[in-house]
Amino acid sequence: MIEFFEKYFPNVIYQGWTGDGGWLPAIGETIYMTFWSALFGGILGLIFGIGLVLTDSNGILRNKTAFNFFDKIVSFFRAIPFIILLAFIAPVTQKIVGTQIGTTAALVPLSLGVFPFYARQVQVALESVDNGIVEAAQSLGATYTDIVFDVYLKEARSELVRVTTVTLISLIGLTAMAGAIGAGGLGNMAIAYGYNRFANDTTTVATLLVLIFVLVVQVTGDFLAHVLNHKKK
């Protein structure tokens, strides 16, 4: 087995598991970027997604001005290609983090890159909630907060898990793209240590590891969505 890897994956073995350019740091950086940007971008996306639904013409807080604000902000950031967004908000990243390079610096564009996508996903998920349930809650004297948490978020929980899964998979792809321009992680491993050095085995293994991440997220998300949907019934 060792001879097989030494023959067909020499560069992978050369990289090693630890130290600069090692596989464990690259995996850890990918997880780090995915987790924190999912948290920050997810919170922002959830806020904007809920705002879009509540202030819509059919929402419980109808407000055209507020809806246009949420809609335009989401549309603006969603229209910017991620690779351009990295450069566009570089000064903002410098102010917040103190640097424009590295895994921590990548959290700013990653969060801003994923939040509009997630906001639209949340909007669609919440709009799937039966209006009759919302109206029934209103007739019983439920507050706006009660309707958001006990009706919208509760009724759409399985769908929210599904759209969160899709968003996380998209985010993993964005971390790889960020890594390709110096943010670290498996994207950096695939490009800097693989493609740029003609080490196809390194690129292949980095790609396979990204696919494993995606598979784990997909399977976990599908399982949780199924469980929550079953409880709902």
DSSP string computed for 119-147? HHHHHHHHHTS-HHHHHHHHHTT--HHHI
Give the C-alpha separation, 89 to 81, whole Å. 12
Where does the pLDDT of residue 166 fall: very low under 50, low under 70, confident under 90, or very high at 90 and above? very high
Mean pLDDT of 93-109: 87
What is residue 5's predicted lDDT score, i.e. its pLDDT? 62
133-157, pLDDT tens digit by residue?
A: 888 888 888 888 899 998 999 889 9
The pLDDT, as a whole number, for residue 7 is 64
Percent of the chain having pLDDT more than 90? 44
SS3 category, 111: helix
- Over the chain, what is the mean pLDDT? 87
> What is the secondary structure of 166-184 as a DSSP string?
HHHHHHHHHHHHHIIIII-
d(CA 100, CA 87): 9
Q: What does the pLDDT read at residue 185?
A: 87
- How confident is the model at residue 231, as a pLDDT? 61
Among 53-62, 82-91, 155-164, 173-182, the minimum mean pLDDT is found in 173-182
pLDDT at 123 over 60: yes
Which residue type occupies 21? G
Model confidence at 211: pLDDT above 90 = yes
In the chain, the domains with their CATH numbers are 16-228 (1.10.3720.10)
Considering only 35-44, 80-89, 163-172, 173-182, which range has the smallest mean pLDDT?
Answer: 173-182
Tell me the whole-structure pTM to 2 decimals. 0.89
Do 108 and 92 form a contact (C-beta atoms < 8 A)? yes
**176 confidence band (pLDDT: 50, 70, 90):** confident
Average pLDDT, stretch 199-212? 88
More confident: 116 or 197: 116
Percent of the chain with pLDDT over 70: 93
Q: Is the pLDDT of residue 189 over 90?
A: no
Query: Averaging pLDDT over each range in 168-172, 188-192, 196-200, which range is the top one?
Result: 168-172
Segment 21-44 shows an average pLDDT of 92
pLDDT band per the 50, 70, 90 thresholds, residue 126: very high
Does residue 187 carry a pLDDT above 60?
Answer: yes
